[in-house]
Amino acid sequence: MNYDCLIIGGGISGLTCGIKCVSEGLRCGILSSGMSALHFSSGSIDLYGYHTNRKIVYQPLDYIERLIIPEGRHPYSKCGIDMIREGISFFSETLEKEGLVLYHNNDYNHFHVSTMGTVKPTYLSQRSVFNDSIKEGFKKRSKIAILNFSGFRDFYPELAAENLRKNSLFSLFDIITGEIELPLFRRTEKNPHEFRSMDIARIFDSEKYLPGIANQIVNASGGALFVGLPAFIGINNFTRIYQRLSELTGMLIYEIPTLPPSILGMRIDDALKSRFAALGGEFIAGDTVNGGEIVNGVLDHIHTENHGSTRLRSKFFVLSSGSFFSRGLVSEFNMIREPVFNLKVAASEDRREWYSPSFFQKESHPFLEYGVVTNNTLNPEDTQGATVENLFCTGAILPHYNPIREGCGGGVAISTGYFAAKKIIEGCRS
Amino acid sequence: MINLENISFDHCIKCTVCTIYCPVARETHLFPGPKQSGPDTERLRIKDPYLVDDSLKYCSNCKRCEIACPSGVKIADLIQVAKFQHLKKKIRVRDFFMSRTDLVGRLATFMSFLTNFVINLLPVKFFMDVILKIPFGRSFPKYASGTFHGWAKKKMPDQSKFRTKAVYFHGCYVNYNNHQLGKDLVDVLNAMNIGVITENEKCCGVPLIANGYIDKAKKNAAHNIQALSRALGEEGTRIVSTSSSCSYALKYEYANLLELNNATIYDKVDYITKYLYSQFETGNIPPMKPVNLRAAYHSPCHLERMGGVIYTINVLKEIPGLDLVILHSECCGIAGTYGFKKEYYEISQSIGANLFRNIEKADVEVVITDCETCKMQIEMNTPYEVLHPVQVLARAIKNNTR
Ligand SMILES: Cc1cc2nc3c(=O)[nH]c(=O)nc-3n(C[C@H](O)[C@H](O)[C@H](O)COP(=O)(O)OP(=O)(O)OC[C@H]3O[C@@H](n4cnc5c(N)ncnc54)[C@H](O)[C@@H]3O)c2cc1C
Ligand code: SF4
Ligand code: SF4
């Protein structure tokens, strides 16, 4: 097969890159071993959230331009501010074409609430997490009801409420918790505690039970203005269901991410994949790239688990295989490796330096900053130290930034994916 | 005993992504889903087989969970192995016959006219439903007269004149039900200057595995590995199959599930579109004329698992005058013999419901798919004829010679 561009890893970074490439008429394929980190994410896109001293960054683009880009090593430095802006708008437009609108706060960060009830700055969110009515409603400092479906075990309203009450942003709110019953529960042999967010999202998608659910929500919320529900208000039909539920209850409905799998993240995954397919991209799921041949600084072909000895060729390649979580990086006893091509990695050789002593350490863990070393155009080095000109590395596999401490994972994945796409399109045209 | 070959369950991070993508768990709560039936209970089963529960049987082995898993857990394999290691086999006439495709096929094709007539009689359908637990509403593939293998041995045009040859594993479906697909393949490959050899093959074993007849499956597999290795002969010869599930079995199930050594054939077996595409790439494209057809393409689960869908799509894209709608990839519900059984019939039908709706919406003349049981399922549930990609190619080639 002869591609213009073959992408290894179908997460947010690989998909953004692929969609840009096919939309410019390139022949593009994405190979992906399994589902990406989107299935575990909040579904909000972080651009830049925290200063080094953990203070909140309010204007992320401005902050990136003034303080991050001059620093030089950060993936954002390589993209440049124009590429970041362009990439983020391209990403938003892409989702909008699939009917999923992302909202931002006029270039400022807004806050979103995690499963634990902690509050985090982020840049882009779905309508059920941030929009103008939610912003206005928040100013009224009134009452919030956090509800769960009785028996559903992947969400704990009391925990979320308890943490919110401790937060100064919410000190003037009255926060209550409650339970509602799903009508379908009575007709199923399945125990509600075996339900997953997806099961419930499908029930919402069918629309059939909406009026009944809306009634229960109103009854359980004691006149609150906001109702926080675990995120499962539909998966394929989200925009419509959200609208109807808002109308039926007359309340501001807010979605809080549940334990994985995350419906908020899956909506983005669905939208990106269907956009890619609609534009003629070839998504090859369930296959792992296990190597390739680099000759004189050029990646000639790759091979995969399923395709055996067949060589897949392409003018350009992208490695967007994620971090440790997605197995784009692997740790061995005393070294950290990039398993597909054995590319040069920036990491400490002393295992003791990989992680912080406490799991939820504020400074986060050093291993999150490890990754594949690249030049300014995201091209990595092979084992002999030669730059691989037709291979680009994007997203979570890159080093020198910390997605958790800085709150910038989604933004880096999108901007670097978009940046690589631009380079590839340029390369194909010249 | 811990099977050290598949300790992939230990890599499970308990994310539940597999269960979200399992078509069976979506439709019935009787099946706890791949996470629970696979890696979660595997550790318990290893400790004490008493902890096995029979909800395992609901897994249709479609393998969609494995495609979704971010940690590379061979979930469906774990479940199949547990099924036949632990679930007591109630000997059931139906399962016996359903899995003996060779035996039944030989008998049925011997008097195909009678078989096709009888199987659709009301009292017979009633008997099958009540006694054999084969659902009343189910329609059956027609049996052909004689076998494809017989035709190939006697009447097949001379293949020795071709320098390049491919060994054709035709499978039971072509052998007993759809000779035309086999003949079309011969036409297509001959038009590309490739000869077709057939071997003395046995059923690939997929229905045997699905019904828990592992020893018999192993026997068939060993026979096929030997026969096919023998047939390979000249350097560069490849084994092709027009069934996505047969190819999957020859390549993967023989080693992963049946624990046989299939190294001699592993890298030589191609599902047909992969073979065709690699020929197309070297410039060996048969002369074709437009087929003037609007078709929807449905990708079968097992082809999806093998990563073979791109080849089919790329082969189809080469056919002139084919207006192709690629359907969203989802399970049609039949999963081999699964949809032929009364206890799973409703589950199987509701799994496929969305696909059938999407086919209706696509506004096409025919449906194209690679798998024979997908074909049966789609033909039963939609008004459309279902063609194999090779048949569409054969049409384009015939149009040219006309
Ligand atoms: C649990 C978790 C939650 C997060 N939540 C957020 C959030 O809410 N907001 C935010 O902005 N950021 C979040 N992040 C940061 C996150 O890293 C990025 O936002 C982003 O999802 C990374 O995308 P990616 O495309 O680079 O990699 P990934 O999403 O990790 O995708 C990599 C893909 O490559 C595939 N792959 C790996 N190796 C191979 C191979 N050899 N062959 C073929 N395919 C391969 C994997 O299966 C996977 O599908 C989160 C990260 C994690 C781990
Ligand atoms: S093989 Fe298919 S039916 Fe079985 S558990 Fe996996 S996804 Fe579900
Ligand atoms: S998808 Fe894989 S890792 Fe996740 S629960 Fe299922 S088997 Fe475990």
Express each pLDDT in B62-104 by its tens digit: 999 999 999 989 999 889 888 877 766 665 666 766 667 666 6
Determine the distance in angstroms separating the CA of A222 from the nearest CA of chain B, rounded to an integer: 34
Domain-embedded: residue A106: no
In this structure, the number of other CB atoms found within 10 A of the CB of residue A205 comes to: 17
CA distance B334 to B374: 7
Residue A271 has a pLDDT of 95
pLDDT digits (tens, 9 = 90+) for B369-383: 999 999 999 999 999
Beta strands in A52-210 (DSSP E): 102-103, 110-113, 119-122, 125-126, 143-149, 174-180
User: Taking 80 as the threshold, does the pLDDT of residue B193 lie above it?
Assistant: yes
Whether residue A286 is found in the same domain as residue A410: yes
User: Taking 60 as the threshold, does the pLDDT of residue B5 lie above it?
Assistant: no
CA distance A109 to B262: 57
Domain-embedded: residue A407: yes
Q: Of the ranges B306-315, B334-343, B351-360, which one carries the lowest mean pLDDT score?
A: B334-343
Domain-embedded: residue A115: no
> pLDDT 10s digit of each residue in chain A, 430 long?
679 999 999 999 999 999 999 999 999 999 999 999 999 999 999 999 999 888 999 999 999 999 999 988 999 999 999 999 999 999 999 999 999 999 999 999 999 999 999 999 999 999 999 999 999 989 888 899 999 988 888 889 999 999 999 999 898 899 999 999 877 655 555 666 677 888 888 888 888 889 999 999 999 999 999 999 999 898 888 999 999 999 999 999 999 998 888 999 999 999 999 999 889 899 999 899 999 999 999 999 999 988 877 889 999 999 999 999 899 999 888 889 999 999 999 887 777 777 777 776 666 777 888 899 999 999 999 888 899 999 999 999 999 999 999 999 999 999 999 999 999 999 999 8
Sheet with strand B238-241: strands edge to edge: B194-198, B164-169, B238-241, B269-271
CA distance B227 to B248: 17
Are B67 and A286 in contact (CB < 8 Å)? Answer: yes
Residue A362 has a pLDDT of 67
pLDDT digits (tens, 9 = 90+) for B30-50: 888 999 999 998 888 888 877
Mean pLDDT of all residues belonging to chain A: 91
User: Taking 60 as the threshold, does the pLDDT of residue B305 lie above it?
Assistant: yes
Residue whose entry in the numeric block shows the structure tokens 């419906």: A263
Whether residue A389 is found in the same domain as residue A331: yes
Are B281 and A1 in contact (CB < 8 Å)? Answer: yes
Least Cα distance to A88 among A136, A46, A56, A130 occurs for A46
**Range list of H helices, A322-388:** none
CATH number at residue A244: 3.40.50
Whether residue A54 is found in the same domain as residue A174: no
Q: For A171, how many CA atoms within 13 A lie in the half-sphere containing its CB? A: 3
Residues with Cβ < 8 Å from B321, sequence gap 6 or more? B289, B290, B291, B292, B293, B396
Answer whether A337's CB lies under 8 Å from A379's CB.
no
Q: Does A53 touch chain B (CB under 8 A)?
A: no
pLDDT digits (tens, 9 = 90+) for A361-405: 666 777 888 899 999 999 999 888 899 999 999 999 999 999 999
User: Taking 80 as the threshold, does the pLDDT of residue B248 lie above it?
Assistant: yes
* Amino acid symbol at B301: C
Measured CA to CA in angstroms, residue B231 lies from B120, B170, B198 at distances of 39, 14, 8
**Ligand number nearest to the C-alpha of A264:** 1
CATH number at residue A301: 3.50.50.60
Are A34 and B71 in contact (CB < 8 Å)? Answer: yes
CA distance A300 to A314: 8
Question: Could you tell me how many residues make up chain A?
Answer: 430
CA distance B302 to B81: 18
DSSP-derived secondary structure for B278-344 = HHHHTT---------EEEEEE--HHHHHHT-HHHHHHHHHTSTTEEEEEPP----S-TTTGGGSHHH
Domain-embedded: residue A121: no
User: What ipTM was assigned to the predicted interfaces of this complex?
Assistant: 0.86
Quick check: CB of B14 below 6 Å from ligand 3? yes
Are B15 and A260 in contact (CB < 8 Å)? Answer: yes
Answer whether A74's CB lies under 8 Å from A47's CB.
no
Domain-embedded: residue A349: yes
Residue A13 has a pLDDT of 98
DSSP-derived secondary structure for A13-75 = HHHHHHHHHHHTT--EEEEESS--GGGGS-S-B-S--B-TTSPBPS-HHHHIIIIIGGGSSSH
CA distance A84 to A14: 16
Whether residue A252 is found in the same domain as residue A320: no
User: Taking 50 as the threshold, does the pLDDT of residue B2 lie above it?
Assistant: no
Q: Give percent helix, percent strand, percent coil of chain B, each to the nearest 5.
A: 60, 10, 35
Least Cα distance to A228 among A108, A306, A337, A145 occurs for A145
Whether residue A35 is found in the same domain as residue A148: no
Element (H, E) at B387: strand B385-387
Whether residue A327 is found in the same domain as residue A357: yes
pLDDT digits (tens, 9 = 90+) for A127-142: 999 999 999 989 888 8
Residue A188 has a pLDDT of 57
Residue B160 has a pLDDT of 85
Whether residue A363 is found in the same domain as residue A303: yes
Domain-terminating residue out of A215, A230, A256: A256
Residue A360 has a pLDDT of 67
CA distance A43 to A56: 20
Answer whether A178's CB lies under 8 Å from A230's CB.
no
Domain-embedded: residue A406: yes
Measured CA to CA in angstroms, residue A43 lies from A116, A122, A127, B219 at distances of 15, 10, 11, 51
Whether residue A251 is found in the same domain as residue A272: no
Element (H, E) at B385: strand B385-387
Residue B126 has a pLDDT of 57
Backbone angles phi, psi at A381, to 5 degrees: -110, 140
CA of A37, closest atom in ligand 1: 29
| Coil vs helix vs strand at A315 | strand
In this structure, the number of other CB atoms found within 10 A of the CB of residue A71 comes to: 12
Tokens (6 digits) for A57: 């960054």
Q: What percent of chain A has pLDDT over 90?
A: 71
Whether residue A94 is found in the same domain as residue A139: no
How far is ligand 2, taken at its centre, from the CA of residue A61, in Å? Answer: 45
Domain-terminating residue out of A223, A256, A289: A256
Quick check: CB of B71 below 6 Å from ligand 3? yes
pLDDT digits (tens, 9 = 90+) for A266-294: 999 999 999 998 898 999 998 999 999 99
Are A35 and B66 in contact (CB < 8 Å)? Answer: no
How far is ligand 2, taken at its centre, from the CA of residue A28, in Å? Answer: 29
Mutate to test the pocket of ligand 2, among B59, B69, B305 (most ligand atoms within 8 A of CB): B59
**Nearest 10 degrees: Cα torsion B113, B119, B121, B124:** 140
Backbone angles phi, psi at B106, to 5 degrees: -65, -45
Whether residue A418 is found in the same domain as residue A326: yes
B326 interaction partners in chain A (CB closer than 8 Å):
277
Residues with Cβ < 8 Å from A30, sequence gap 6 or more? A6, A7, A9, A10, A14, A15, A18, A276, A281, A282, A283, A284
Mutual orientation of helices B272-281 and B389-401 as an angle, nearest 10°? 50
Backbone angles phi, psi at A9, to 5 degrees: 110, 115
Query: What's the structural domain count of chain A?
Result: 2
In this structure, the number of other CB atoms found within 10 A of the CB of residue A326 comes to: 24
Element (H, E) at A285: strand A282-285
CA distance A302 to B235: 24
Are B20 and A198 in contact (CB < 8 Å)? Answer: yes
Interface test with A, best of B11, B16, B302 (most A CBs within 10 A): B16
Domain span at residue A57? 2-99+266-429
Measured CA to CA in angstroms, residue B205 lies from B102, B336, B399 at distances of 10, 11, 37
Interface test with A, best of B58, B266, B310 (most A CBs within 10 A): B310
Whether residue A245 is found in the same domain as residue A282: no
Least Cα distance to B70 among B9, B15, B125 occurs for B15
Residue whose entry in the numeric block shows the structure tokens 């505690």: A193
CA of B34, closest atom in ligand 2: 5
Residues with Cβ < 8 Å from B95, sequence gap 6 or more? B211, B212
Nearest to A285 among B16, B67, B72 (CB): B67
Mean pLDDT of all residues belonging to chain B: 85
Domain-embedded: residue A261: no
Domain-terminating residue out of A234, A256, A278: A256
CA distance B222 to A253: 61
Label residue B336 left, alpha or beta by phi (over 0 means left) and psi (-120 to 50 means alpha).
left
Residues with Cβ < 8 Å from A19, sequence gap 6 or more? A94, A272, A275, A276, A279, A281
Whether residue A228 is found in the same domain as residue A335: no
Domain-embedded: residue A28: yes
pTM of the model: 0.89
